[in-house]
Structure 1
Amino acid sequence: MGNEHRLLTLIICLVLGGGLIAAVLGASRAVGPHAGTASGRPAPSDYVDIRDVPRGSAATPVPGPEGSAGSVVVECGRNEQGHYNEDNLVVSPGLPGGAHHTHAYVGNLSTNAMSTAASLDAAATSCTGGDRSTYYWPVLRRPDRPGTRPHEGSAGHGNVGEILPEASVVVEFRGNPVSKVVPMPRFLRGMTGDAVAYTAADEADVRARWGCSGSPDRATTRYPRCPTGDRVTRTLVFPSCWNGLDTVGATHRSHLRFPAGNGVCPKDTFPVPELRLSLAYEVPPGLNVALDSFPEQRHSPKTDHAMFVNAMTDRQMAAVVDCLNAGRVCRI
């Protein structure tokens, strides 16, 4: 009887102790700009009037005489096909639902967690020029309206509300300001941004860039409040210095790195076309939008990110490189 009593006492202590530890950990994670957002929604401090954002934060290096000053826009639509899922082929291939939030896609119409080089190469695409690459990013929602379509409720993990469709999507490649670019290899995988920025130890991988269509010289890592008539914008710029060996890296970043501020690539890397995705949304004035995220990231705007897999043919990629290196403006 004494042993049973001691065992019961031990169990009660463990339960109470576990609850105390959980409370302490929860309190420590709540400290900071998101304190008090127990619902997991963005905090008031996550929003900013675009007029309060300093000008000039989006400056880029001026191309030099040896640079590749061209640009190429790939016409891929704005996901009119309604291609959504909770997969992430770049980060968690082979794991359906591995993203724990919903991604929107343009380009390859078959992309999911189980995609392979062969399946991507054989699939249809939304790109009018035949580019079978896949380009994708987390959806933006309006939490004030319940989602009624199947893909709006399939993510779970606090990602709720009506998905805001993209009013425009621009898939663009740019050159390098200080040198010519070389082709990306087929099926190169890349990512930009930090999906766990809210809980990360630092902001080294944060690449979120939010803005308003009427103020292209103002960029922020917070959700912008735009004047009536402006669209909310997201600009996602990818790393463009390839190690010359791998199409995928152990950390999903090591094989493809960002250049320095002046455009110079790190040692032992080669400049490839710089991909940037420019997204725009019609957001009613005063509406608090929320980015899909992992549950512990609380929809922080700093967690904005995107991925791509290059499935262009060698001929298509050569055309992109030729245009960039010749300094032309092209559309394919």
Structure 2
Amino acid sequence: MGRNTRKRRTPLATKAIAASAALALGGGGLIWANFYASAHESNSGQNQTKAATGQVATIACPDVQQKLTNVPEKARQGVATELANLDKQITEAYARLASTRQAQTQDANFVQNAIVGPLKEKRSATLDRIRIDIQRVGGQVDAAGLSALAACTTQTANQTNAGGQQQNGGQQQNGGQQQGGQNNGGQASASPSAGAGAGQNVGGQAGNGPVAADFVDITKVAANVQGKPQASGNASKGTFTTRCGVNANKNHNTDNVIVAPGVTNGAHHLHDYVGNQKVDAFATNDSLIADQTSCQNQSDLSAYYWPVVRIQNGTQDFDQNADGGGKEGNVGKILTPVQAQIKYVGNPQSKVVAMPQFLRIITGDAKTTTNGLANANAHWSCTGFENKVQLTTQYPICPQGSNVVRTFAFQSCWDGQNIDSANHRTHVAFADPASGACGNGFKAIPQLTMRLVYKITPPTLQNGQVKNAYAVDGFPEQLHKPATDHDDFIAVFKNNLANKIANCINSGQKCQ
């Protein structure tokens, strides 16, 4: 891994992560299959998320993308395509698991012979193509190490509990490294028979989460937000606000041009888009600068996009039978934010330099259920509580009259050279949470912050189940855990706007 892969987060992010982490199995694609639930079933009018008790199988696959930190520029497109193929293979294996329950109960070796074995063969071929892509342009690759990432493991697993000690204000203080592991009942246990085991409760309208443990009454959570780093005399104290709407025009797709350029449905979940209006898998720097924007400031053509939030009350939306939607376990009515605030802020220790054109930043990790919380940067709260409580591993149940809030604070330190990196992380970093300073020769840039507000009828918890749940879209195997929340950004500015933003922040002004 590169030196900045395990990043220090903003103080808010560091303090929000609970000590009881989501289930992590060595950084891979953990596959959960609920064999009774249908992606299109409601619950007989009860508005209750599915709590099916079918057998649940898991497959843990190493996360290849996070280990590729030195891919030559000329090989990155080919490698990105193959990485997307690995994600697709996991999705297909998930579907295979979900549709073969009877065969698994009749043959203890079915999962290994019919699913895991063929999956390893597919992954081996894909990894070999990655090796060829890198070596063809003169890059170096550890062929044996890469090949070792092909194998996946099979397990039976108990219900994964997301919350645990967060209700008591539990939080991480070690710069983002995982503490506490799983809480009781959350560990996966190996079994010689992949189809064996007691009934499971994976929850969710589609049978792949969320579950009751993913929610907490925010009024019962101890305050866990602490003060920001003290500003020095050289601090950049200004702000620049850009108003780009709430995606009321429903500009959606399931692509991700940053991690899977040229691959349709590369995200396997649906995004909201504001700012640049033509961001799909085939967008290029040239097309982005030529496109239209939803921002009031027409010089801001940046792409701001995030996974949608859905309410799981038995209703469906336009994509209930589509890839990335109901076909992959992302179900329920899509919610449009009632507010979407985008603001650039300064650094408490130094002036900022302008963002380079076409800089790409991903904040958070869409695969924390399997990767662990090292790169988690999810913040969930409620209006009236944002300065007191921020949650990472649970969704808040807000009191009457209070709305759900998602907050993002992007990496604000840049290596000064690259607009992207092979794993989309090592070219940017978080500032030190205690001082706010950038380290390792990185430069402070305007920090992108986003605040999304949703009007949601509060879910209720009854008998260990959740009614009227809401959840963020995600990869199907990630169980719609709150910690998987993430946000994506491509800097696209015209008419010297990047420099205007930096100058505004450095001079201490409030601009828009």
Q: What is the TM-score normalised by the length of structure 2?
A: 0.59
Map of 2:278 onto structure 1: 110
**Where does residue 198 of structure 1 map in the other structure?**
369
- In structure 2, the partner of 1:293 is 474
- Which position in structure 1 is the counterpart of 2:350? 179
Is 1:37 the equivalent of 2:228?
no
Indicate whether 1:209 and 2:379 are aligned.
Answer: yes
The alignment partner of 2:261 has SS state of coil
Deviation of 1:62 (Å):
3.1
Q: Which residue of 1 aligns with 2:449?
A: 276
Q: CA deviation at 1:37?
A: 3.4
Q: 1:140 aligns with which of 306, 309, 318?
A: 309
- Distance, in Å, in 1 between the alignment partners of 2:471 and 2:420 is 30
Question: d(CA) in 2 for partners of 1:255 and 1:59?
Answer: 27
Q: Contact 1:186 / 1:314 at 8 angstroms: preserved in 2?
A: no
Give the distance between the partners of 2:458 and 2:108, measured in 1 at CA: 47
Quick one: structure 1 residues 58 and 71, their matched pair in 2 at CA, closer, same or farther if it must change by over 3 Å? farther
* The one of 340, 344, 358 aligned to 1:169: 340
Alignment partner, residue 125 of structure 1: 293
In structure 2, the partner of 1:230 is: 402
Cα drift, residue 264 of structure 1: 1.0
Q: Which of the numbers 301, 307, 311 marks the counterpart of 2:488?
A: 307
Residue 96 of structure 1: how far off its partner (Å): 1.1
Q: Who is 2:503 aligned against?
A: 322
CA distance in 2, matches of 1:275, 1:124: 21
SS in 2 for 1:311: coil
Residue pairs, 1:240-279, within 5 angstroms? 240-261=412-433, 262-279=435-452
The residue identity in structure 1 corresponding to 2:408 is L
Q: What are the ranges of 5 or more consecutive residues in structure 1 without an aligned counterpart?
A: 1-11
Name whichever of 86-95 and 58-67 sits farther off.
58-67
1:94-105, aligned counterparts within 5 Å?
94-105=262-273
Distance 1:25 1:283 in 2: 37
C-alpha RMSD of the superposition: 2.2
Structure 2 SS opposite 1:199: helix
Q: Is the alpha carbon distance of 1:160 and 1:279 closer, same or farther for their aligned partners in structure 2, counting shifts above 3 Å?
A: same
Q: What letter matches 1:37 in structure 2?
A: N
Q: 1:68–1:300: structure 2 CA closer, same or farther, 3 Å change rule?
A: same
Distance 2:328 2:449 in 1: 29
Instruction: Give a deviation string over 1:132-160, Cα, whole Å, max 9, x none.
Output: 00000100001114223248855231001
- Cα–Cα, structure 1 residues 46 and 103, in superposed 2: closer, same or farther, change >3 Å? same
Distance apart, 1:19 and its partner CA = 3.3
**Aligned partners of 1:227 and 1:152: how far apart in 2?**
34
Deviation, structure 1 residue 47: 0.4
Structure 1 residues 203 and 151: CA distance shift in structure 2, 3 A = same
Identity of aligned residues (%): 36
Matched-pair contact (CA < 8 Å) for 1:58–1:219 = no
Instruction: Give the aligned residue type for 1:242.
Output: W
Q: CA deviation at 1:193?
A: 0.3
Structure 2 CA distance, aligned partners of 1:139 and 1:147?
Answer: 14
Q: Does 1:219 align with 2:347?
A: no
Aligned to 2:218: 50
Q: In 2, distance between residues paired with 1:297 and 1:198?
A: 5
Asked if the contact 2:308/2:334 (under 8 Å) is kept, the reply is: yes
CA separation in 1, counterparts of 2:320 and 2:331?
10
CA 152–212 in structure 1, closer or farther in 2 if over 3 Å, else same: farther
Q: Does the 8 Å CA contact 2:273/2:306 hold for their aligned counterparts?
A: yes
- 1:164-193: per-residue Cα shift (whole Å, max 9, x none)? 111110111000010000001000000100
1:77-135 CA distance string (max 9 Å, x none): 11122110001111111111000000101100011010001111111100010110000
1:290 aligned counterpart, secondary structure? strand
Q: Deviations over 1:213-232 (max 9, x none)?
A: 11122111110000111110
CA contact (8 A) 1:70 1:174 kept: yes
Distance in 1 (CA, whole Å) between partners of 2:479 and 2:335 is 18
* C-alpha separation in 2, matches of 1:162 and 1:293: 15
Letter matched to residue 268 of structure 1: G
**Change beyond 3 A, Cα 1:241–1:213:** same
Alignment match, 1:74: 242
Q: Is the 8 A contact 1:53 1:219 kept in 2?
A: no
